[in-house]
Amino acid sequence: MLLKKREKLILKADNQEAVSMFETIFYEENHGVATITLNRKDKLNAFTEGMHQELMIALKKAAQEPTVRCLVITGSGKAFSAGEDLDGVTEELDHGEVIRTRYMPVMLQIASLNKPVVAAINGAAAGSGLSLALACDFRLMHEKAKLVQAFIHVGLIPDSANLFYLPKLIGHAKAMELAVFGEKITAQEAKESGLVTRVVNDENWEKEVAQFAAMLAQKPTVAVGLIKRLLQKSWGENLQSYLLEESYSQRIAGKSPDHMEGLAAFKEKRTPDFKGE
Amino acid sequence: MNNQWSHIQTEIVKNAGTITLNRPEVLNALNTMMVSEIVQAMENFDQDQTVKVIVLKGAGRAFAAGADIDEMLDKNAIELELLNQFSDWDRIARIKKPIIGAVHGFVLGGGFELALCCDILLASQYTEFGFPEAGLGIMPGAGGTQRLTKLIGHARAMKWLLTGERFSAEDAWQYGIVSSIVPDQLLVEETEKMAEAIAKKPPLSVRLIKESVHKANELSLAEGMQQERKNFYLLFSSEDQKEGLRAFKEKRKADFKGR
C-alpha cells in the first residue's frame, strides 16, 4: 500500500523530484534518453527489494513519458550489478516467491516497453545482474567489464529470464556451457559470441554510450517498438499467427506520423526528422 | 453521437449500434444507472432496423474495472432483493442481435460479467481479466460464476474466482473467452471490421444462429438439435434464404433485404 502511494507520487513528480525520492537508483531524462543508474555502489549495485520497487517505478515512468525514446540502464561505480544481494538470502528464503514478486515484474516491464532499452555494462555483471543486461535490447560493454553466470557457483540456476534470452542470443550449446561452467566472460569474448552489441574502451565510454542512445532516440520509435515486439513473437508463434501480428504492426506503423515524415523525406531527398510518434 | 445518456454514449456506424461506457474517471465502474442505460440502448438498437449488430466498448483506460462499490456499501439483503437490480442484466440475454464486445485495460468483476454477456469478445493485448469479489467478502452476482464456468470449465473457473487472481488476454484467448487479441491501437478498427462483416450477412440468419448457439448452453444436446432444426426450417420462409441460395447458384452477389 505504501509503495502504491509512493509510486503515484513519483509518477506524478517531475524528474528532479523523482531523482530525489529514489534511494537505490538514479533516474534522469535528457534529450529523449532516460537513464536508470543502479546506485548501491558499496554493494556493487546488488538488488534488494527496495531497489526492485524503485526500478519498477522508473521503468514505468520511462514507458509513460512520451518524450522518452530510448532507455539506458547502467551501474554506478565499479560494477553494473552483482545480482541479488546475498545479505538477504537466508535458509528460509522462498526463491520462487522472490522471482515472482520482484524479478518477474521487472523482466516483463522491460520486454513490454515499446522503446529500445540499452544495457550499458560499465563493470561486472554477475548473476541476475547479467540477467538484467540480457533482458535489454542492446548491450554496450566496457572493455574491462566481465560477465559471470554466477548462479551455478552457489548451486542455483540462472534466473530472471537468463536462460530464456541466452540461447536466443548465442545459441543453445553456448548457453549451456556458460550456465553450467559459469566462467568469467571478457568483453572481447562477449563480442565474439554475439552477447554484446559493442565493446567500448574506457576513454570513450560515456561519450559512446550517449551517442548510441542518442542515435536510438532519433529513430521512428513506434516502428522500433513494433520491431521489438515482433522479434519477441518470432520465437513463440507459428508463421500464420506471426504474419497476422505483423499485419497489425505494419498497420500501426503505417498510420504513424513518422512514416509520413519518412515518405516525405524520401521524396524530397532529405534526412527524415522523426518525432517518435 | 447520441447524448441522451448520462453514463454511456451511443452511435450507429455502418449498421453497428455502438455503446461506449463513458465514465472513464472511475474506469467505467458499473452502477445501476449505467447498466440500465446499457440495457435500454441495447433494446433500442434491437428494435432499430438500421442496426444489424451491437458493439460494446469502454472509453478511457479500461473496459470496466468493476461495479460501483459505494452503491452497494450500505445495502442489506432485503433491500437488494427488493431492488432486484440484476433483472436488468437478464434483459441483455434476450437481445436478439449479436453483441460484439471490444475490451481493453481492465475487465474486472461486474465489468467482466458484462463482457461475458457479449456474443463475441475482442481484447486488446494488455487486457487484464479477473473476479476480485471474493477478496471483498462478496461474490459475482450478475452471472460471473455461471457464465465463466460454462465457458471455461469448473476447475479453471474455480481457480480464478476463488483466488481473485488477474489473468491476461493471452490466457483469456487460450480458454476461449475472447475470440481474438489485437493491439490496443487497432481494437476499435478491428472491432468495426468484424461488425461490418457480420452486418453484411442476412440478418435473419444471424439472428437465428445467435439464438441457436445460446440454446447450446441451456438445453440438452437433443433439445438443442431440435431447436436448431426448427430455426433452420424457419429460415426457409425468408426471402433472404431464396435470394442467398439463388445468388450462389447464379454466381452473383446476393442482395439481402432482411426479410
Residue B255 belongs to a domain: no
Residue B258 belongs to a domain: no
The span from the CA of A167 to the CA of B107, in Å, is 36
The span from the CA of A250 to the CA of A266, in Å, is 19
Q: Does B182 touch chain A (CB under 8 A)?
A: yes
Contact B186 A252 (CB under 8 A): yes
Q: Are residues B85 and B154 in the same domain?
A: yes
The span from the CA of A200 to the CA of A190, in Å, is 12
Q: Are residues B30 and B148 in the same domain?
A: yes
In chain B, residues with a C-beta closer than 8 Å to the C-beta of A252 are 183, 185-186
Taking residues B203-224, report their average pLDDT.
96
- Residue B109, sorted as left (phi over 0), alpha (psi -120 to 50) or beta, turns out to be left
* Percent of chain B topping pLDDT 70: 99
Name the H helices within chain A.
2-12, 15-21, 49-64, 95-98, 104-112, 128-135, 162-170, 172-181, 187-192, 205-217, 221-236, 239-254, 257-267
Torsion sign (Cα): B192, B198, B204, B209: negative
Q: Are residues B141 and B243 in the same domain?
A: no
Q: What is the pLDDT of residues B122-132, one digit of tens each?
A: 999 999 999 99
Residue B256 belongs to a domain: no
CA A264, distance to chain mean position in Å, is 33
Say what the pLDDT of residue A89 is. Answer: 82
Residue B236 belongs to a domain: yes
In chain B, residues with a C-beta closer than 8 Å to the C-beta of A259 are none
CA distance B186 to chain A (A): 7
Q: Are residues B47 and B172 in the same domain?
A: yes
The span from the CA of A158 to the CA of A127, in Å, is 7
CA distance B13 to chain A (A): 21
The span from the CA of B68 to the CA of B66, in Å, is 7
Q: Are residues B142 and B103 in the same domain?
A: yes
Q: List, by residue number, the catalytic residues of B.
A: 67, 110, 113, 133
Say what the pLDDT of residue B71 is. Answer: 84
Say what the pLDDT of residue A93 is. Answer: 86
**Residue B176, class by beta-carbon neighbours within 10 Å (0-12 exposed, 13-18 middle, 19+ buried)?**
exposed
The span from the CA of A118 to the CA of A101, in Å, is 24
Q: Are residues B213 and B187 in the same domain?
A: no
Total domain count, chain B: 2
Q: Are residues B192 and B234 in the same domain?
A: no
Q: Are residues B125 and B183 in the same domain?
A: yes
Per the CB < 8 A criterion, the answer to whether B75 and B221 are in contact is no
CATH number for B228: 1.10.12.10
DSSP 8-state secondary structure symbol assigned to residue A77: T
Q: Does B183 touch chain A (CB under 8 A)?
A: yes
Contact B183 A252 (CB under 8 A): yes
Taking residues A152-163, report their average pLDDT.
95
Residue B3 belongs to a domain: no
Per the CB < 8 A criterion, the answer to whether A110 and A103 are in contact is no
In chain B, residues with a C-beta closer than 8 Å to the C-beta of A249 are 183
Q: Are residues B109 and B211 in the same domain?
A: no
Q: Does B185 touch chain A (CB under 8 A)?
A: yes
B72: confidence class by pLDDT, cuts 50, 70, 90: confident
The span from the CA of B203 to the CA of B53, in Å, is 9
* Percent of chain B topping pLDDT 90: 88
Q: Are residues B171 and B43 in the same domain?
A: yes
Q: Residue A184, CB half-sphere, CA atoms under 13 Å: how many?
A: 8
Say what the pLDDT of residue A1 is. Answer: 37
Q: What is the pLDDT of residues A3-21, one digit of tens each?
A: 555 555 555 555 556 556 8
CATH number for B142: 3.90.226.10
Q: Does B186 touch chain A (CB under 8 A)?
A: yes
Say what the pLDDT of residue B51 is. Answer: 97
In chain A, residues with a C-beta closer than 8 Å to the C-beta of B189 are 251
In this structure, the number of other CB atoms found within 10 A of the CB of residue A222 comes to 24
The domain locations on chain A are 2-217, 221-267
Radius of gyration of chain B (CA): 19
Residue B57 belongs to a domain: yes
Q: Are residues B79 and B192 in the same domain?
A: yes
Class of domain A2-217: alpha beta
Taking residues B136-149, report their average pLDDT.
94
Taking residues B71-89, report their average pLDDT.
88
Contact B126 A112 (CB under 8 A): yes
The span from the CA of B190 to the CA of A254, in Å, is 15
Residue B49 belongs to a domain: yes
How many angstroms separate the Cα of A30 from the Cα of each of A34, A118, A212, A270, A274? 6, 15, 14, 26, 17
By Cβ distance, the residue of A112, A248, A255 closest to B182 is A248
Residue B259 belongs to a domain: no
Q: What is the pLDDT of residues A206-218, one digit of tens each?
A: 999 999 999 999 9
Q: Are residues B238 and B140 in the same domain?
A: no
Per the CB < 8 A criterion, the answer to whether B151 and B129 are in contact is no
Task: Give the full edge-to-edge strand order of the sheet including A185-186.
Answer: A79-81, A124-126, A146-148, A185-186
Say what the pLDDT of residue A5 is. Answer: 57
Q: Which residue of B has its CA nearest to A244?
A: B182
Q: What is the pLDDT of residues B7-57, one digit of tens each?
A: 999 999 999 999 999 999 999 999 999 999 999 999 999 999 999 999 999
Say what the pLDDT of residue B73 is. Answer: 84
Residues of the domain holding B218: 203-249
User: pLDDT at residue B114 above 60?
Assistant: yes
In chain A, residues with a C-beta closer than 8 Å to the C-beta of B184 are none
> Fold for domain A221-267?
Lyase 2-enoyl-coa Hydratase; Chain  A, domain 2 (1.10.12)
Contact B183 A112 (CB under 8 A): no
